[in-house]
Structure 1
Amino acid sequence: MKIALFGASGRVGQAFIKQAAADGQFDVYALVRSQHTELPLPKDRIVMGNARSREDVKKVMKDAEIVISCLGTDGDDTLSATMTHIIGIMRKQHIKRLITIGTAGILDSRYEPGKFRFETNESKRRQTRAAKEHAKVYEMLKESSLDWTLICPTYLPDGTATGVYRTERNVLPEGGTSISVGDTADFLYRELVTGKYVGYRVGLAY
């Protein structure tokens, strides 16, 4: 089963590739910007290009059955611009399943109904630009007819997978303050296999 992966060179993307390679039931193809990016993938599964380019996005998505995005906000609108390409190509190619990494800021507030966490004091981050970009992607997914899952980890330090963490639909697990890169990739892989959270944001924390 072919997976088209975006954000492969990021921390979660690389951890996911290693987990998928260890399992062996998925063929991961990745779009990367630099030829110097080192990934544990066969050369013929690495596509050089820019995620802002629709043609480059289309190349890596050719014959894919699942799309995974671990893209960050990159300081601009690259995330939402790429997601526009991804959703459009998925519709044309009749690909239904999309799993993407977001941020805990776009989960629902527990204490102020109708607001995202980043709009309240529940979020410790004072800068909201990245959260607004992720929220834009969330709105795009809600309006699509795709089988999407939006994984929303809180503070994301480096660390290996323990497999022991909490998840909750649309809100952050109460008292959650962090989740490692390894466990975020672990949950991404579990969701890929189980599809338990189709149509939901998932709060992820210890």
Structure 2
Amino acid sequence: MKITVFGATGGIGTQLIRQGIARGHAMTAVARRPVELGCDVVVAELGDHEAIAGAVAGRDAVLSALGLRVAELQQRRRLEPSARSTVQADGARAQTEAMLATGVRRIVSVDAAGRVADDGDGLVTRIVAKPLLQRLLREGFEDLAEAEKILRASGLDWTLISPPRLTDGPRRPYRTVVGRNVRGGRTLSRADVADAMLRALEEPGWIRERVNVAY
């Protein structure tokens, strides 16, 4: 497949590039500055519609591992105290706009299991732990929720991959549940998030679904 990766310089993104190349895919990375990733790199900001469309055109799928680092948000707030994190929604908007313009239909994006409490969670997690986490990470979760709305409204063939707390551990067997959280799932490595995202491209039953992944 020909695949374009957004957020390619982050922990999940670099794993997507590395694992995608190992699987024989032709990978293209979108980055804000020139960087060596072992594949084609398109240098573009999310607001550069022409460059984003060029990065997406002719590809079979888009993978989005976008995320705003805490240090970046803190720096922005020093300059603009009211600044909020909108990178997920901005990314979804730019990606879907480019895909609709160029005829690319398949997109897989990272979400977060913590922002949704459902019957896949145990009672304590659903009633106590998740509400606390949602208060602590409210801004980031609101950004992810807006990104989900944009994907759902696009009419594209989207999948959300929703892990719990991320680690830098190695790949190992993990569980997947479509449409609800993984019972007792507390962690997942970035390497396995990338594996699940690439796997989603070969799972027709995951199209237009939120797929939860965890150990």
Short-chain TM bin: 0.7 to 0.9
- Partner SS for 2:149: helix
Residue of structure 1 in register with 2:159 after alignment: 149
1:166 maps onto 2:164 in alignment? no
- 2:4/2:63 contact within 8 Å kept: yes
Residues 171-190 of structure 1 mapped to structure 2, 5 A cutoff: 171-190=180-199
In structure 2, stretches of 5+ residues that fail to align are 74-84
- 1:108/1:170 contact within 8 Å kept: no
In structure 2, give the amino acid aligned to 1:129. Answer: E
- Partner SS for 2:211: strand
Distance 1:174 1:118, change over 3 A: closer
Residue of structure 2 in register with 1:5 after alignment: 5
1:56 maps onto 2:51 in alignment? yes
Residue of structure 2 in register with 1:28 after alignment: 27
Residue of structure 2 in register with 1:84 after alignment: 93
- 1:2/1:65 contact within 8 Å kept: yes
Higher helix residue share: 2
CA distance in 2, matches of 1:103, 1:183: 14
Q: Percent identity?
A: 28
Residue of structure 2 in register with 1:102 after alignment: 111
- Partner SS for 1:140: helix
In structure 1, give the amino acid aligned to 2:62. Answer: V
In structure 2, give the amino acid aligned to 1:63. Answer: G
Over aligned residues, Cα RMSD in angstroms? 2.2
- The structure 1 segments of at least 4 consecutive aligned residues displaced by more than 3 Å after TM superposition are 117-121
CA distance in 2, matches of 1:52, 1:121: 36
- Partner SS for 2:5: strand
- Matching residue within 55, 65, 68 for 2:60: 65
TM-score, normalised to structure 2, is 0.83
- Partner SS for 1:167: strand
Q: 1:135 offset after TM fit, Å?
A: 0.5
- 2:3/2:63 contact within 8 Å kept: yes
Q: 1:38 offset after TM fit, Å?
A: 3.2
- Partner SS for 1:67: strand
Q: 1:196 offset after TM fit, Å?
A: 3.1
Q: 1:91 offset after TM fit, Å?
A: 1.4
In structure 1, give the amino acid aligned to 2:37. Answer: L
Distance 1:4 1:110, change over 3 A: same
Q: How many residues align structurally?
A: 196
CA distance in 2, matches of 1:51, 1:186: 25
- Partner SS for 2:162: strand
Partner deviation per Cα, 1:45-98 (whole Å, 9 max, x = no partner) = 111121232222112112122111110145421221121121122112221111
In structure 1, stretches of 5+ residues that fail to align are none
- Matching residue within 124, 130, 152 for 1:122: 130
TM-score, normalised to structure 1, is 0.86
